[in-house]
Amino acid sequence: MSFSAILGAWIAAFLTLGIFSYLYKDNPFYKIAEHVFVGVSAAYVAAISFWTQIYPNLFGRLFPKDGPLAFTGLEFDFNHEFNILYLFPLILGLMMLISVFQQFSWMARWGIAYTVAIAAGLKAFGYLNSNVLNQVKASSVDLFSGSLPFFSLGGDSVFNNIVLVVGTLSALMYFYFSKEQTGNFGRFTRLGIYFLMVSFGASFGFAVMGRISLLVGRFNDLIDYSSADYNYATLGVLLFIIVTLGIWSFQNPEQKEN
Amino acid sequence: MKFLEDIILKLGAVDRRVIFVLIGLAVLIPLLTPISLPVRETPTTVKFYDGIEDIPKNSKVLVSFDYGPSTRPEIHPMNVGVLRHMLRNGHQIYISCLWPDGIYMALDALEEITDEVNPDNESTFDIKEYEDYILLGYRPGAEAVIKGLASDLRKVYTVDANGNFIDDIEMMDGIKNLNDFAYIYSGSAGYPGTFEWVKYGGDPTGVPMSSGTTSVQVNEVIPYVQTGQLIGLLAGMPGAAEYEKLINVPGIAIQGMAAQSFAHIVIVLFIVFGNLAFFIKQRRDRKY
Amino acid sequence: MLLKRYIPIAIVAFFGALTLSAWFIDNETIETFANDDATQFFDIIAAFAVFLGALNLLKLQFIKVLKQQSGWIYSAIAIASFFFAFIIGFFIRGAYFVGEDVYFSQKAAEAAILGSGSSEVVVPVDWGAHVQTDGSLFQWMFKYIFSPLSATMFALLAFFVASASFRAFRARNFEASLLLVAGIIIMLGRVPIGSLISSWTIMYILAFSIGIGINSYVKNRNVMFGWILGSCGAITGFGMTMGWPIDQPAIFFLPALQEWIYLVPNLAGSRAILIGIGLGIVATSLRYIFGLEKSYLGE
C-alpha cells in the first residue's frame, strides 16, 4: 500500500468517525468534519464546473485556435469554431460573480432569469409529455377484453387494473380543491387519501431501505480501513476519538448534564 | 400483564443513543460475520435484465453515471453489473455523467471490472479505451445537457474526459446524437438523473432506456416502468443484489443483504414496540 | 427599474418562449439555437452559478472570522479547506504519466524514471483532464476527503430514521395505520429475510392482531379468545392439509404481497402524484414565461 493511500485512509477514517461522533452528541470532531466538508465541496464543485464546462465550451468557443481573438494571446483548442454569441453567457456569468457585492446584487438576476427561462421552456413540455400525457395514456387499461384473468397477485389482471384506475382517479381528485370534498365526491376523495397513504407508506419503507444501504456502505469502508494494510486506521482513529471525547466530558461534567 | 406493560413502557422511553447502538450493531455484525441469505428476484429487476438482453448484440449503448459517493453503496453495484452485462453482450459503452462525481464512479467501476482479468470468468474483461468504451465525462447543466445530447452530442462534448478531440476518435464515428445509441441506461441518485433522462432523452427520441435508482427515488419513478418509458428498474441495494444474482456475479450488494435484512427487522421491531408503548400509555391516560 | 426588473422579465419571456416553441416548430435555425446553443449557455451560466455559491460561502465565513463570532475557528477551517481544494483543483496538475503509472508531481515521476532506469518520458496530464484522471491528486482528494464526508453525512440519517420510526411512527387512525402497514410490508418483503418468513406465520400474527382489535372494540375477552382459538385452529387445519408451503397462500407471503402493493395500489398513488406534479410544473413554467410568476426576482 502506498504512503498516499495509507495517509488517505487515516484522513477518511477520521472524517467518517468524526461525523458519526455526532450520534453521541455535538462535538468539535463533528464540527471540524462538517466545516471541512463545506469548504472542500465548494471548491471541488467549482473546479469541476470550470474545467469541464467554462474552460472547453466557453473559452474554447471565444478563443479558439487561430480565432479572431488569438491576438490576445489566449488560445484554447477544443475543436470549436469562433462563436461571438458566446459573449452572452460570459457577460451573464460575470454579472453573476459581481453580484457578490451587495450594491450589485441585482446583477445575478439576468443569469438567473436565463436559467429560469430555459428550465421553464424545457420543463413545460417535458412534464406535459412524460408525466401527464404518457401517464394518462397508461391509465386507460384493459378491463373488458376478457383476455386477462380476474385476479392475479403477480401480473396483469382485471381486478388490478380496476384498482389502478380507481386509485389514480380518486387520488388525483383529492388534489382538486375547487370543489368542496363532501358527499359522494368526498367519499371518493377519501378513497384517494387511502391510496396516497399506501404510497407514502411505501415511500417510507424505501427511504429506510436507502438509508440503511448507505450505512452498509460506510461500515464496509471503515472495515476495509481497519485492516493491517492501512495500519489499522479505523481502530486508531476510533480509539483517539473515544478517549478524547471521554476526557472532555470528564473535564466538563456540566456539559454532560445538558 | 401489568409487569409486561411496565417493561414495554420503559423500553418505549429509552434513550435514543441506545437505538443508535442497536441499529449500528444490526448492520455491523452481519458485515463482520457474513451470512448468506437467499436473494429473490422481483419482476421489475427481471424486466430490467431482459431489457438489456434484448439489445441487439454488439450495439452502441450510453451508460450515464449520475451519482456520487453519497449514494454509491446503492448505485455502484448496479452500474458495475450493467457494465459487465453489456460487455458480455459485446456492446460498445459510451459513458457520460450528469453528476460531477460520476466520472470517478465510472473510473472505479471500470477498474473493478478490468482488475486481474481472468478469461474463464465473465466478471472481468480485457477491454481497451476507445475500442470497447469511451469516457465522455461530466458536463454541468442537468436537463439542458440531455437536451443537447439528444440534438447534437458534439456540441456538448468536443473533447472526452482525457482531453482528446471527439472528432478524432474512431469509436465516435457515426454518432451524432442520442438516436445513434441502441440503449440508454442511467444509474441515478436523484436530480439530475432518471427523471431527466426519461423526459429529455428517452421519451423524445424513442431510444429504449432503463435505470437503476436509489431506494428513496424508486416510488417516484415506478409509474414510468408500468408505462414502458423505462424497461424495468433496479430499486436500491436490494435491486442491485437481485441483478448481481441474475448476471451471476455475486458482489458487494449481495454481501450487504444480510445487514440490510437485520436492520429492517430491528426497525420494524422498533415500530411495533413504539406503537405498543403508545397504546398502553394512551389506555392508561384514559383510565386515570 | 429597467435593468433590475424589466430586462430579467424580458429574458425569461423571450428565451422561455423560444425553448418551448422549439419542441413544436419545424424551423432549423430556431431548433439548432434552442437545442444546442441555448442549452450550452444554460450549462455555462450554471457553472458560473457554482462560483457565485462558492464566493457567497467564502464571504459568510470570512465575516464570521473577522468578527470573531462564536465558532469562528470552524469557519477558519472551512476557509482553509476551501483554499486547499481550490489550489489542488486550479493550480496543481497532480498527474504525471510515466507509461501507465501516474505520479502526483513531476519530481516523483522523474525520480521513478531514474530509479527504474527506463527510457520513458514524463507526460503531464492536460489541464482540464486533470480533474477527471484516475490517479491524480484531485482524485486522491475526492476519494479520501470529499467521498467519506459526503457519504457519511447521508449515512448518518439511517440512525435518525430508526429513531424517528420508534418515536413518531404511530397508528393513530386508519390512514396512519395504512401508511404503517404498507411501510412495514415493503421493508420486510423487499429484503431476503422477507422470503424466509412463512405466510403461515403472518396468518397467525394477523389472527392475533384481529383478536386484540376485537377486544378493544367489543371489550369482551371471551369473544377475543373465541376468535383467536377458532382462527388459529382453522389456520392450523389448513396448514396441515396443505403441507405448510412457505409461500402459500401467496397473499400472506410478504415478497408476493409486497410486490402487489408496490405495483398496484402504490403505483396508483404514485401516478396520481406524478400527474399532479406534472400539471403543477407545466402551469408554473407557463406562468414564468408569461411573466405572471416573478419569484426569481426575489420579490
| C259 CB within 8 Å of a chain B CB | yes
pLDDT value of residue A1: 80
Q: Are residues B76 and B7 in the same domain?
A: no
Smallest CA–CA distance, residue C211 to chain A, in Å, is 24
Q: Which one-letter amino acid corresponds to residue A104?
A: F
Smallest CA–CA distance, residue C69 to chain B, in Å, is 31
C-proximal residues of A, 18-47, CB under 8 Å: 19-20, 22-23, 31-47
Q: Which of A5-14, A24-33, B238-247, C25-34 shows the lowest per-residue confidence on average (mean pLDDT)?
A: C25-34
pLDDT value of residue A67: 85
> Which of A203, A207, A217 is closest, CB to CB, to B72?
A217
**Which residues in chain C have Cβ-Cβ distances shorter than 8 Å to B147?**
35, 39
pLDDT value of residue C9: 93
Average pLDDT over residues B238-261: 94
For C188-213, the pLDDT digits (tens) are 999 999 888 888 988 988 888 888 87
Q: Are residues B65 and B27 in the same domain?
A: no
Burial of B88 (0-12, 13-18, 19+ CB in 10 A): middle
Smallest CA–CA distance, residue C209 to chain B, in Å, is 12
Written in H, E and C, the secondary structure of C7-31 is HHHHHHHHHHHHHHHHCCCCCHHHH
> Which of B107, B135, B270 is closest, CB to CB, to C166?
B270
Whether pLDDT at C219 is above 80: no
For C253-292, the pLDDT digits (tens) are 998 999 999 999 999 999 999 999 999 999 999 999 999 9
Chain-chain contact of B223 with A23 (C-beta, under 8 angstroms): no
Chain-chain contact of C47 with A194 (C-beta, under 8 angstroms): no
Average pLDDT over residues A25-52: 94
**What is the pLDDT confidence band of residue B119, given thresholds at 50, 70 and 90?**
low
Q: Could you tell me the three cell numbers for B106?
A: 465510472
Q: How far is CA A60 from CA A46, A67, A73, B131, B158, in A?
A: 18, 10, 13, 27, 9
Identify whether the C-beta of residue B109 lies closer than 8 Å to the C-beta of residue B80. Answer: yes
Q: Are residues B17 and B85 in the same domain?
A: no
**What is the pLDDT confidence band of residue C183, given thresholds at 50, 70 and 90?**
very high
Q: Are residues B29 and B144 in the same domain?
A: no
Average pLDDT over residues B31-35: 89
Whether pLDDT at B273 is above 90: no
> Which of B138, B163, B235 is closest, CB to CB, to C126?
B163
Whether pLDDT at B280 is above 60: yes
Show which subunits contact A, needing at least 3 CB pairs below 8 angstroms. Answer: B, C
Q: How far is CA C182 from CA A188, A195, B45, B259, C273, in A?
A: 21, 10, 21, 22, 17
Q: Are residues B50 and B84 in the same domain?
A: yes
**Domain-embedded: residue B131:** yes
The mean pLDDT value of chain A amounts to 90
Average pLDDT over residues A179-186: 86
Chain-chain contact of C271 with B264 (C-beta, under 8 angstroms): no
| CATH code where residue B127 lies | 3.40.50.10160
Average pLDDT over residues B264-283: 89
Whether pLDDT at B154 is above 50: yes
Q: Are residues B171 and B114 in the same domain?
A: yes
**Domain-embedded: residue B38:** no
pLDDT value of residue B189: 94
The mean pLDDT value of chain C amounts to 90
**Domain-embedded: residue B122:** yes
Whether pLDDT at A256 is above 60: no
Q: Are residues B25 and B93 in the same domain?
A: no
Chain-chain contact of C272 with A200 (C-beta, under 8 angstroms): no
pLDDT value of residue A257: 45
- Pick the residue from chain B with its C-alpha nearest to A219: B28
Domain boundaries, position B238: 43-250
**Domain-embedded: residue B23:** yes
**Domain-embedded: residue B230:** yes
Q: Give the pTM.
A: 0.92
ipTM of the modeled complex: 0.92
> Which of A48, A207, A219 is closest, CB to CB, to B215?
A207
**Which residues in chain A have Cβ-Cβ distances shorter than 8 Å to C176?**
197
Identify whether the C-beta of residue C23 lies closer than 8 Å to the C-beta of residue A125. Answer: yes
For C97-132, the pLDDT digits (tens) are 998 889 999 999 999 888 888 888 899 998 888 998
Q: Are residues B69 and B126 in the same domain?
A: yes
**Which residues in chain C have Cβ-Cβ distances shorter than 8 Å to B266?**
162
Contacts of A76 (CB under 8 A, 6+ apart): A55, A56, A59, A60, A63, A64, A65
Q: Are residues B173 and B69 in the same domain?
A: yes
For B167-199, the pLDDT digits (tens) are 999 999 999 999 999 999 999 999 999 999 999
**What is the pLDDT confidence band of residue B120, given thresholds at 50, 70 and 90?**
low
**Domain-embedded: residue B150:** yes
**Domain-embedded: residue B159:** yes
For B42-96, the pLDDT digits (tens) are 999 999 999 999 999 999 999 999 999 999 999 999 999 999 999 999 999 999 9
> Which of B17, B226, B237 is closest, CB to CB, to A24?
B17
- Pick the residue from chain C with its C-alpha nearest to B262: C193
Percent of all residues in chain B with a pLDDT value above 70, rounded to a whole number: 97
Domain count for chain B, please give it.
2
Q: Are residues B84 and B202 in the same domain?
A: yes
Q: Are residues B281 and B152 in the same domain?
A: no
Chain-chain contact of A216 with B73 (C-beta, under 8 angstroms): yes
Average pLDDT over residues C240-248: 85
Chain-chain contact of C289 with A117 (C-beta, under 8 angstroms): yes
Q: Are residues B12 and B84 in the same domain?
A: no
Residues shown for chain B: 288
**Which residues in chain B have Cβ-Cβ distances shorter than 8 Å to A118?**
144
pLDDT value of residue A258: 42
Whether pLDDT at A126 is above 70: yes
| A87 CB within 8 Å of a chain C CB | no
- Which of C7, C21, C37, C50 should one mutate to test binding to chain A, selecting the residue with the greatest count of A CBs within 10 A? C50
Pairing state between β B92-97 and B133-138: parallel
Question: What does R_g of chain C's alpha carbons equal in angstroms?
Answer: 31
- Which of C51, C62, C69, C88 should one mutate to test binding to chain A, selecting the residue with the greatest count of A CBs within 10 A? C51
Show which subunits contact B, needing at least 3 CB pairs below 8 angstroms. Answer: A, C
> Which of B43, B161, B267 is closest, CB to CB, to C259?
B43
DSSP chain C: -IIIIIHHHHHHHHHHHHHHHHTT---HHHHHIIIIIHHHHHHHHHHHHHHHHHHHHHHHHHHHHHTT-TTHHHHHHHHHHHHHHHHHHHT----EEETTEEESSHHHHHHHHHHHT-----EEPPTTGGGG-TT-HHHHHIIIIIHHHHHHHHHHHHHHHHHHHHHT----SHHHHHHHHHHHHHHHHTSGGGGGS-HHHHHHHHHHHHHHHHHHHH--HHHHHHHHHHHHHHHHHHHHHHT--TT-SGGGSHHHHHHHHHHTHHHHHHHHHHHHHHHHHHHHHHHHHTT---GGGT-
pLDDT value of residue C80: 97
Q: Which is higher by pLDDT, B165 or A179?
A: B165
Average pLDDT over residues A63-77: 86
Average pLDDT over residues C230-241: 90
**Which residues in chain B have Cβ-Cβ distances shorter than 8 Å to A206?**
215-216, 218-219, 235-236
Chain-chain contact of A129 with B203 (C-beta, under 8 angstroms): yes
pLDDT value of residue B121: 67
